[in-house]
Amino acid sequence: MLPIYIFLWLMLEMTSARPQYLGEKMFTFPEETNMTYVKVNASAEDLAAITICLRTFTDLTRAYSLFSLSTPSSVNEILLYKQAQAKNKFVVQVGDGVAAFVGQNYDYYNYYYLNKWQSICTTWDAETGLVQLWINGKASSRKFVSHSNITGNFTVVLGQDQNPEEGRLHRSRSFVGMMRDIQMWNYVHSEMTILNYHRNDRRISPKGNVFDWQYLDFDIIGNVVVEPEQKLSNN
């Protein structure tokens, strides 16, 4: 018989077997802290185009980072963040380029909806260099960011910016709330596919080929809770 500690170690190794099934689950980021994020193991090494989609729920009115992809040569090769409510902008950074987007499905007071699930998708391709943002199925203008491919092993982080000043992460940019259904592809999806994603129809919504939420390979750093998804407040 195996000594108990070896048995426990084997159990631990087995429960951290990757990837994990996350269908019907969500990540809850329950506190404002610089110690918490989710690191996703993505399988591509060279990207000439992307589509990234995710769903978020939050009551944050300050700025926060949702998605950050770094390469050995750049800490924020791709960055998706929301500026403070007063500025009312979503920002997508790819390579050296930055594009800011305004006016997509804001409410009567021009605030981004709080306490409601929102779908957010962004696309970019190196050939045109154009990025586009979709919020709740509503398209943005297409704006130029970068012609350069994204190369090298990359690291994807959810809920924090990988561009820390003074070598550390900042709680003032951390995400607090829930996130689910995070998908990434190495090509640009059609408008119809992005609408299908927004409508949350799992039968026709495609699965990411860079990573797929259903079988995500990830590490949790700090206090992020994997819970059954709550999706009633979609509207």
Ligand X SMILES: *[C@@H]1O[C@H](CO)[C@@H](O)[C@H](O)[C@H]1NC(C)=O
Binding site for ligand X (CB under 6 A): 18, 34-35, 41, 43, 45-46, 48, 126, 149, 152-153, 164, 168-169, 217
Residue with Cβ nearer ligand X (32 or 217) = 217
Give the span between the Cα atoms of 55 and 234, in whole angstroms. 10
Residue with Cβ nearer ligand X (117 or 218) = 218
Ranked by CB distance to ligand X, the top (closest) residue is 168
Give the span between the Cα atoms of 219 and 226, in whole angstroms. 11
Closest approach of ligand X to the CB of residue 19, in Å: 8
Residue with Cβ nearer ligand X (47 or 133) = 47
Task: Name the token pair of 61.
Answer: 């009115």
Closest approach of ligand X to the CB of residue 35, in Å: 6
Residue with Cβ nearer ligand X (152 or 206) = 152
Find tokens 């957010």 and name the residue: 120
Residue with Cβ nearer ligand X (135 or 224) = 224
Residue with Cβ nearer ligand X (41 or 128) = 41
Task: Name the token pair of 189.
Answer: 């999806």
